[in-house]
Amino acid sequence: MEVDDVPLDDKAKRMRDLLSSFYSLDHSMSSPDTSSSSKYATLDAINTTSFDPNQYMHLLVHKSNLEGLLQKHVEMAAEIKNLDTDLQMLVYENYNKFISATDTIKQMKSNIVNMEANMEQLLEKIMSVQCRSDGVNTSLFEKREHIEKLHRTRNLLRKVQFIYDLPARLGKCIKSEAYADAVKFYTGAMPIFKAYGDSSFQDCKRASEEAVTIIIKNLQGKLFSDSESIQARAEAAVLLKQLDFPVDSLKVKLLEKLEQSVAGLQLKIEDMGNASVDSNDTSTDSVPATEHETSVREFAEAIRAYRVIFPDSEMQLTKLAQDLVSRHFETTEQYIKTQIWSAHLLGVLRIIWRDVLLMDDVLHEAALSDYSLEPARVAVKLYVSNKFSHLLSSISDALTKAHTRQKDKGEEYSLQVALEGGKKAVLQGSMDVLLDFRQLLDDNLGLLVKLKDLIIDWVQEGFQDFFRALDGHFLLLSGKNSSATQDLGLTEGIQDDKVLAGLVLVLAQVSIFIEQNAIPRITEEIAASFSGGGARGYEYGPAFVPGEICRIFHSAGEKFLHIYINMRTQRISVLLKKRFTTPNWVKHKEPREVHMFVDLFLQELEVIRSEVKQILPEGIRRHRRADSTGSTASSRSNPLREEKLSRSNTQRARSQLLETHLAKLFKQKVEIFTKVEFTQESVVTTLVKLCLKSLQEFVRLQTFNRSGFQQIQLDIQFLRTPLKEMAEDEAAVDFLLDEVIVAAAERCLDPIPLEPAILDKLIQAKLAKTKEQNPNTL
């Protein structure tokens, strides 16, 4: 038994080594070297292929106590029991499979036994059928050969008959203009003519060639006929090539025909008005084919045929197709200049894009879809630019045409109408333009999808440039550059000084409206619908800068307000200059009444108040009167002046001047010129102050006698009450009026003022006369 066990153990080890080499395992694990395995053996080695039971027991005894050995014994007994159970189940399962396999084999064996008899019978029948088939083939062989020979003869006779009938067939095709069938018949007979045309079928060949000559002549005429369609001419060229006609000589002529047809395919401005009808339908399949689309399809088919005839003509055809696309966009640019909307532009672009796709199908090398991007970019940018130009014109019309309309109707010009029209034109016009541009972005046309980022940048840049141009245009309307204004015709109908000054005031208020209302609204709309872009490059900064525009129009509003004040002040200064330079003040007569220039002066101020009330809002009425110090000083000066009336002329004049200067030293310092605000009171007060200051300067340039001085005193005293009612700063008005009288006294040879009673009597007489002339005047 021990001798038998040894070879069995060697066989098992050899099998383990083979398995280890197959699965690329470490050979050291299966090495028979017991010394190395014992050196590194562990208790976990029981599950390995190199398990040594003696070594395992030795380690277990040395490493475990008695209790551990008993526990290990219990565990191993349980594992052995589980393994026996698994093995038993495995045997049972395999036993069932073996039984099933045995039954199947028995059944197959019985079926095969019965099948052998059937197969033998089938073989006998097949052999019998084969013998009968061989007999039939032998008996029918001669007849089959005869039938095949007759069939070949019949086909040959048909061909011969076709050759003899060919001239007649060609004649019928010529009469019916069925040239395609004629070419097909003739090309089919060409092999026979080449083989037997000089002998058997000489007459048929000659007659056929004569008919083909007529066909070639007719096809040439059809090829160069302007009445034929492009597709028909292309088919004629293909047929000529099939007849071995030298069509290369016709290449230049046919290309010239295609070039002439391009001019007929070009879009026309008068036909573009209907382009927006189908602009909302982006599916070209659902739109019926128009005459233009049909012509373009024929042109595309002609290009396809031309390529077939002349394979090396891609460069000429590409140039021709690009020329057609360029012509389309040139017409589109002219159409854009007629003030169109985005619906019209989309309709035209959709037609062009459809033509591009049609030609792209037959001429891929031209890459027309990429070529059309650049002219489309130019056209869309021109459209955006023109929209802003038209918006600028509409704002200018709203500001200036109101005067023209009312002047034609004989009505008084209303600045309120111009102001409301200007505000509406700026805000509503900008919103309409943004909505129009939004339709371009929302459309899914292939051209516009690729230009989306550029359109966003153009819109933002356009608004930035538009408001800068609007600021310059406002400056032209204000009359600061009259020559350029008249050349451009921008201030037509506003040449009247009164209207021009009022328009400047309107421009000031519109500028403030743009800063406070229009720019924030436009900024919100741009942020909501035109965000993104970035095609212009981040190094150039943002395209639309609202803060800069607000600063521009805030400065413009202040500038136009000062221009208005200067214009009105200059007009009144002309009146004052005429008043003080016309008479001879040294020989002036005694004052009998308030001078008429006072009425003119007050009328001018009343016109200013009327304009300001229409445009500017009311402010808080602040009556800045002089305090007790100023009042005391004024009261102190008047008694001093009255006391000295009994003195001599020279002494009284010198005393009055000295007392006046002393009184001015004790008066409180009055702030005359303050910052102008956008309110009615501030503008009117500033104008009154400037006019009184001008009046003072004109007085200083003259020399007065006693009567002249008294006339100035009377006029100034009459102006005191209405001017204080108009102006907000009464203290400054009092101060400036006093300064005028002081200046007159300084320039008077005998400064003796009117007595208060006489002064009051003359003023009351003027008031009564004014009330009599105009009962509504207070």
pLDDT tens by residue, 408-435: 544 445 788 888 888 999 999 999 999 9
Exposure of 187 by Cβ count < 10 A (0-12 exposed, 13-18 middle, 19+ buried)?
Answer: middle
What pLDDT does 225 receive? 73
User: Residue 664 pLDDT > 70, yes or no?
Assistant: no
What pLDDT does 86 receive? 83
Query: DSSP characters for 508-520?
Result: HHHHHHIIIIIHH
With a CB cutoff of 8 Å and minimum separation 6, the contacts of 728 are: 619, 621, 622, 623, 624, 681, 682, 684, 685
3-state secondary structure of 748: strand
Tens digit of each residue's pLDDT (9 = 90 or more) over 198-252: 776 777 878 888 888 888 888 878 777 767 776 777 788 788 878 877 766 677 7
Residues 670-698: what's their mean pLDDT?
84
What pLDDT does 431 receive? 93
In angstroms, rounded to a whole number, what is the distance separating the alpha carbons of residues 531 and 431? 16
What pLDDT does 36 receive? 44
User: Residue 634 pLDDT > 50, yes or no?
Assistant: no
What pLDDT does 700 receive? 92
% of the chain at pLDDT higher than 90? 15
Tens digit of each residue's pLDDT (9 = 90 or more) over 556-578: 999 999 999 999 999 999 999 99
What pLDDT does 107 receive? 82
Q: Where are the alpha helices (DSSP H) in 409-518?
A: 415-442, 446-450, 452-477, 482-488, 497-513
Residues 327-332: what's their mean pLDDT?
88
Q: How does the average pLDDT of the chain come out, rounded?
A: 78
Exposure of 256 by Cβ count < 10 A (0-12 exposed, 13-18 middle, 19+ buried)?
Answer: exposed
The tokens of 134 are what? 């061989």
Query: DSSP characters for 714-728?
Result: HHHHHHHHHHHHH-S
Tens digit of each residue's pLDDT (9 = 90 or more) over 44-68: 667 777 778 888 888 888 888 888 8
What pLDDT does 636 receive? 31
User: What pairs with residue 562 in β-bridges?
Assistant: none
Which one is predicted more confidently, 344 or 201? 344
Task: Grade residue 517 by pLDDT with cuts at 50, 70 and 90.
Answer: very high
The tokens of 481 are what? 């550059």
Tens digit of each residue's pLDDT (9 = 90 or more) over 596-627: 989 999 999 999 888 888 888 887 655 444 44
Ramachandran region, residue 472 (left: φ > 0; alpha: ψ -120 to 50; beta: rest): alpha
Task: Grade residue 520 by pLDDT with cuts at 50, 70 and 90.
Answer: very high
3-state secondary structure of 704: strand
- Is the pTM of the predicted complex or chain greater than 0.85? no
The tokens of 500 are what? 């021009």
Rg over alpha carbons for the chain, rounded to the nearest Å, is 57
The tokens of 8 are what? 């069995």
User: Residue 747 pLDDT > 70, yes or no?
Assistant: yes
Tens digit of each residue's pLDDT (9 = 90 or more) over 291-320: 788 888 888 887 887 777 677 778 888 888
In angstroms, rounded to a whole number, what is the distance separating the alpha carbons of residues 683 and 676? 6
Tens digit of each residue's pLDDT (9 = 90 or more) over 447-499: 888 888 888 889 988 999 999 999 998 888 887 764 443 444 444 444 444 44
What pLDDT does 315 receive? 86
Q: Supply the angle between the helices 179-196 and 230-242 in degrees, to the nearest 10.
A: 10
Task: Grade residue 285 by pLDDT with cuts at 50, 70 and 90.
Answer: very low
